[in-house]
Amino acid sequence: MYSSKIVYTGSYVPERVVTNDELSQIVDTSDEWISTRTGIKKRHVSTGENASDLASKTAEDILKKGNIDPLSIELIIVATVSADYSTPSTACLVQAKIGAKNAAAFDVTAACSGFVYAVSVADKFIKTGTYKNVLVIGTEVLSKITDWTDRTTCVLFGDGSAGAFLERCETGGIIAEDIGSDGERGMSLTASNILASNAFNDVEKVPSSCIAMDGRAVFQFATRQIPKSIENIIEKTGIDRNEIKYVVPHQANSRIIEIISKKTDIPMDKFYINMENYGNTSSASIPIALNEMVEKGMVKRGDKIIITGFGGGLTWGTLLVEW
């Protein structure tokens, strides 16, 4: 069986930056309140670009770095909860925009775990010999589904996109995974509720597109489940914690990451954190962080890193990757 390896990464974020101080002019909050509770100082917000626009510019960044011919791409998977349309998929829009007309394309919806899920799916297509390469992108324009009058949620989220290009390899790559979901607690985090209203029933059509979240429930879920997921990976592979070069977590809340560090006995200096500059970009947060690390020269071939996410569904996913 083949293995799959991340060979290139890329990202794109909107130019408009919104600081905590700017948010304090919209809702009753402050920079001190937001930063001490979340670790977030600012975020990027779209001024008109949609999810497929951000994703296409991410794809272009990756193609340029790898000198990749768009016609050589065999599969495109996009993770998003803020797609341009219900159909066509964001991945199909990206395919058209970058001229990758030979690629199959579809979306994955797993909220903030979306990039991990999408990489997992890509890995299976490559390992089974179906495809030799896959372009995976996480892209979000959460600003369009954020209630900007709700200070408990609007301070958290940002817009952005990032991704990775995976290719077939003989060894290393995606070594192990731990992926799961807990649908019984799914209503702890919702967005874009579409009721079954039609011409043949009397269900009132009341659109509710904004994110709604039980922050305490999600916090408790993340701080319980992610340490377990990381421990499952360690147990499955027998890897020594000292062999783990970095942990790249979903960038939701600095306090969550601190608790994960403590519970897994992995030092905080091994956790890459950049939420200060982006906020929570859902499926884009992990690949944005990963791309920053690559651009800074922090990861080298042979390094073992853990990628871990959690989010709506509720879902979680952890990968052990040999770079």
Question: What's the half-sphere exposure (Cβ side, CA atoms, 13 Å) at 41?
Answer: 4
Per residue in 81-112, pLDDT (tens digit) is: 999 999 999 999 999 999 999 999 999 999 99
CA-CA distance, 268 to 176, in Å (whole number)?
A: 22
* Catalytic hit among 92, 154, 210, 250: 250
Per residue in 171-214, pLDDT (tens digit) is: 889 999 999 999 999 988 888 888 888 888 888 766 668 988 89
**Closest listed residue to residue 5, CA positions, set 53, 88, 46, 66:** 66
Per-residue pLDDT, 170? 85
CA-CA distance, 38 to 255, in Å (whole number)?
A: 7
Question: Under a CB-based contact definition with an 8 Å cutoff, are residues 305 and 155 in contact?
Answer: no
Per-residue pLDDT, 253? 94
Please name the residues in contact with 200: beta carbons below 8 A apart, sequence gap of 6 or more: none
Indicate if 280 belongs to the active site. Answer: yes
Q: Please provide the size of the chain in residues.
A: 323
3-state secondary structure (DSSP) of residue 296: coil
* Catalytic hit among 92, 112, 154, 210: 112
Backbone angles phi, psi at 268, to 5 degrees: -60, -30
Question: Under a CB-based contact definition with an 8 Å cutoff, are residues 305 and 321 in contact?
Answer: yes
92's enclosing H/E stretch is helix 90-98
Q: 223: left (phi > 0), else alpha (psi -120 to 50), else beta?
A: alpha
**For residue 147, how far is the Cα from the chain centroid?**
21
Per-residue pLDDT, 159? 98
Per-residue pLDDT, 219? 94
Per-residue pLDDT, 207? 64
Give bridge partners of residue 248 from the DSSP assignment: 307
pTM over 0.85: yes
* Residues of the chain below pLDDT 50: none
Per-residue pLDDT, 1? 73
In Å, how far are 25, 144, 281 from 46, measured between CA atoms? Answer: 19, 9, 12
Per-residue pLDDT, 206? 67
* Catalytic hit among 133, 253, 277, 280: 280
In Å, how far are 19, 44, 284 from 157, measured between CA atoms? Answer: 12, 9, 11
Per-residue pLDDT, 195? 81
